Amino acid sequence: MSDPRITSSIFTRGAVDLSTLRGPAPASTRPGTPPQGGPSTGAPGAPTAGGNAAIVDVTEATIQSEVLERSMAMPVVVFFGAAGFPESDEFAPVLERLAAESDGAWVLARVDVQQNPRIAQMFRVQGIPMVYAVVGGQPFDAFSGVVPEAQVRQWLQAVLKAGGVTVAEPEDPRLDEADDALMSGDLDAAERAYRKILADSPADAAAEAGLAQVGVARRVAGADPAAALAAAESAPDDVAAQLLAADIEVLSGLAEQAYARLVGLVRRTAGEDRETVRQHLVSLFTIAGPDDPAVASARRALASALF
């Protein structure tokens, strides 16, 4: 399954209208007012067994306070499921564990679609399990089906950032293993490790950057840097010589110089040669990442060269 962070959202932002769910909350469910008869473990809208306030069961009577109002202070992840449905039963514990680990950074709101069909209708739930993120009283993003935990974690990172929560990027031992292989020169092992990460998390920027570095390391293997740069200097329109020189410059910490070299070559080439140079340049961008100012500048220069 593709990464839920980068696929088209199930809904268009704003298309899910939650306003019809707003209204005066019953006295028994207003913040600060205990439910009639006192709290009961597992009651809708109350913390789950064990007193975990990061997980609540929600009904139509409590959705305003537990989802809409609470989402003004922190992201709320709404899980739509029902007991007895295998995929729902399989996926619910994953979200519950992640919520418990979040240290209050977000709240998991569980909705039983069999008991609360109107809420499911308002969220346009067509199958379970389905998960929505609500931030600032509005739906932010959603996905359906059982998603690998690694992808859910990445999705939650995006949700938390949208909610203004500062999040630390979790360490990934798989990435450490891949990086160690790259640093030791075992390019085959590094490539396998990076590709395995990307198979689970297609938009993992660190793995993409690592895989791009493997490509550069392979291309420059056995090359004499000084001779390669001299050859590129003497043959400015030799595509192969220029690509190798750019790779060497990137590995030498001269990425901006490499970008400028290839943008200039894009301007001077056409057809298949131009596309080869463009793709090579984009692969070098991947190493630095999209937030690098030099990459942003080079992308603008590339766009100008192409169009």
pLDDT of residue 74: 92
Threshold 0.75, pTM exceeds? no
d(CA 154, CA 199): 14
Order of strands across the sheet with 76-81? 47-48, 52-57, 107-112, 76-81, 130-135, 138-144
- Residue 104 zone, left/alpha/beta (φ > 0; ψ -120 to 50; rest): left
Walk along the chain (307 residues) and give the pLDDT tens digit of each residue: 333 333 333 333 334 555 555 544 333 333 333 333 333 333 333 344 334 568 999 999 999 999 999 999 999 999 999 999 999 999 999 999 999 988 889 999 999 999 999 999 989 898 999 999 999 989 889 999 998 888 898 899 889 988 887 665 666 788 899 999 999 999 999 999 999 999 988 888 899 999 999 999 999 999 999 999 999 999 999 999 999 999 999 999 999 999 999 999 999 999 999 999 999 999 999 999 777 899 999 999 999 998 8
pLDDT of residue 49: 36
pLDDT of residue 2: 36
pLDDT of residue 282: 95
Which residues have CB under 8 Å from 210's CB, separation 6+?
175, 178, 179, 182, 190, 194
pLDDT of residue 30: 35
- Provide φ and ψ at 95, rounded to 5°: -65, -40
Is there a contact between 235 and 224 (Cβ–Cβ < 8 Å)?
no
pLDDT of residue 168: 58
Rg (CA), the chain: 25
Packed helices 271-288 and 293-306: angle between N→C axes, nearest 10 degrees? 170
* Tokens found for residue 130: 């389905």
Residue 202: other Cβ atoms inside 10 A = 17
Q: What size, in residues, is the chain?
A: 307
Longest CA span, the chain: 87
Q: What angle do CA 283, 3, 292 make, to 5 degrees?
A: 35
pLDDT of residue 53: 66
* CB-count burial class (<10 Å; 0-12, 13-18, 19+) for 91: buried
d(CA 150, CA 145): 14
d(CA 243, CA 261): 9
pLDDT of residue 170: 60
Spatial CA neighbour of 255 closest among 304, 212, 303: 212
